[in-house]
Chains A and B, each alone.
Chain A
Amino acid sequence: MTLNLSGVGLTHANGQVALSDIELQIAPGERVAIIGPSGAGKTSLLRLLATAQQPSAGRIEVLGADPWRLSAAARQRLRARIGLIHQAPPLPPRQRVVTAVLAGKLGRWSLGRSLLNLLHPLDTAGAAAALARLDLAEKLFEHCDQLSGGQLQRVGIARVLYQEPELILADEPVSAMDPVLAGHTLGVLSEEAGRRGITLLASLHAVDLALAHFPRILGVRAGRLVFDRPAAALTRAELDALYANEQLQQPATPPAAPYVLHIPRC
């Protein structure tokens, strides 16, 4: 199992419960999408899996090891094998795109190599190849503050592609892209996962994108796993129940077009 969670819960320092009772097994090579309303705990779940946060209950196993029983050094080595794509990639504004992408491999490079790379990019071709797959090759030597939100997201994805991790976790990776580009980018991620036989787990805002690119769908609501099934077996009623919002619902207006999802694509 690439990921194995049993009875996992997460309570924030202020007492707020973010996740409870998560049971989840994901095999190597699986492609899984996490969907659910805003604030359901999708990001918390991904942060747990990326070992960026310690669960307050239950057991978690990532790539065959319990990260919280490892020494700090071994945990850093484990983290180098996990690629986390951030919704808004945290990149220094003055950093060049080539440096930001090459930073994906810092967990594997020696200190000397990392220092040298700061003075002169050592693998410009590798960074250019990763960016070219996302149609961003011409931005190689630009500064990160010159890019738009969608372009920054693609730089973040290129960094993880260059990192070549054994597990890709993506937190709303295409939220700032137009629908066509979002579809293309998810296609690149799926293709990368398929080609290298690695696991891909992405939280998505747009349900149709999740259904189109991922064979297995997890539904998260209020910190709990509501459903976990193949995309083909998912029914409309389940989706409606997942996104039902008691506070926003208008009692009198019946849905005009029952077969169109009311969830925005992006």
Chain B
Amino acid sequence: MLTLAVPRDPAALPRLLLTALALALLWPGLSLSELDLGVLLHGDSAATMGNFVAAFWPPEHGREFLDLLGRATLETLAIATAGMSLALLVALPAALLASRALSLSALHRGGRPAWWGALLRWPVRGLLIVLRSVPEIVWALLFVRAVGLGPSAGVLAIAITYAGMLGKVYAEIFESVDPRPARALLGSGSPRLVAFLYGILPNAAAEMLSYTVYRWECAIRASVVMGFVGAGGLGQQIDLSMRMFAGGEVASMLLTFFLLVLLADQLSRLLRGRLT
């Protein structure tokens, strides 16, 4: 009788069906992408890869090369940082405009903005979508033609794409934190920007910071990829070394990368620790 007393979980069947559906959708995806892991072990592809990787040892550490590596690393950091700064200049105002969190009309409508407010937010959202829907490598190719080979093409490409990403995520962070402090301030007559600074920013700062540092890390990686198309930095050096089959140099540069990402990770942890 005891077993009859336990009611059946009403969510069990839907969950089972959803899992089955997800698996059923995965299969056509795998076959569409022509993924075949067997090719990795097939024939002499394993030996070829082994030779390629073996050439990476030992990492190059000659005095002259280290000078070059240092300069390229600094250039990469400069590209990522300058690109992020420009992106922030666009992303912050755009996020404030795109976010519903600072709507005055939502104040006395139970959190739903008036239709004309929603209408005005759409162009800003559209702009952010356009900025981030074109990959940075495409922007880089465009700017290499416009401003010539060199870091400035990379900076512009990162600035444009990342402005779109940062703006979208910032706007969502603003909407996801507790809206009541800002509403209380708006309700006592504060201007909107001030209500944002006193009511939303204290709650959103840690998350924004963590995302921004993560994006900075991504910008470092992206600047490397763009180096392959001539936008300067470590990427250009890796491209050159690969063409000259100098595996040791490539290994040194990959190690540098590892250190840069580690640095970004530690920086993020330090800053978050200060804020939370």
Contact = CB atoms under 8 A, between A and B. Distances in A.
B108 interface: yes
A72 interface: yes
Given A52-B108, A90-B180, A103-B198, A84 B188 contact: yes
Given A80-B189, A84-B187, A92 B194 contact: no
B181 A92 contact: yes
Contacts of B195: 106
A259 to B, nearest CB: 41
A71 to B, nearest CB: 11
Contact of B197 (A76, A90, A107, A114): A114
A118 interface: yes
A106 B194 CA distance: 7
A94 B107 CA distance: 24
A114 B108 CA distance: 25
B108 A92 contact: no
A163 interface: yes
B187 A50 contact: yes
A163 B195 CA distance: 15
A86 B203 contact: no
Contacts of A77: 189
Given A86-B184, A103-B185, A95 B108 contact: no
Contacts of A91: 181
B187 A79 contact: yes
Q: How large is the interface on A (under 10, 10 to 19, 20 to 34, 35 or more residues)?
A: 35 or more
Contacts of B202: 92-95
A9 interface: no
B103 to A, nearest CB: 11
A94 B203 contact: yes
A36 interface: no
A72 B198 contact: no
B168 interface: no
Nearest to B198: A103
B130 to A, nearest CB: 30
Interface string A104-116: 1011110100110
A81 B104 CA distance: 17
A89 B180 CA distance: 9
A218 interface: no
A158 to B, nearest CB: 14
Nearest to B194: A114
Contacts of B185: 103, 106
Interface of B: 104-105, 107-110, 178, 180-181, 183-191, 193-195, 197-199, 202-203, 205, 275-276
17 contacts: A12-B110, A52-B108, A72-B105, A79-B187, A83-B188, A89-B184, A90-B178, A93-B202, A93-B203, A106-B185, A106-B190, A106-B195, A109-B194, A111-B194, A114-B194, A114-B198, A163-B188
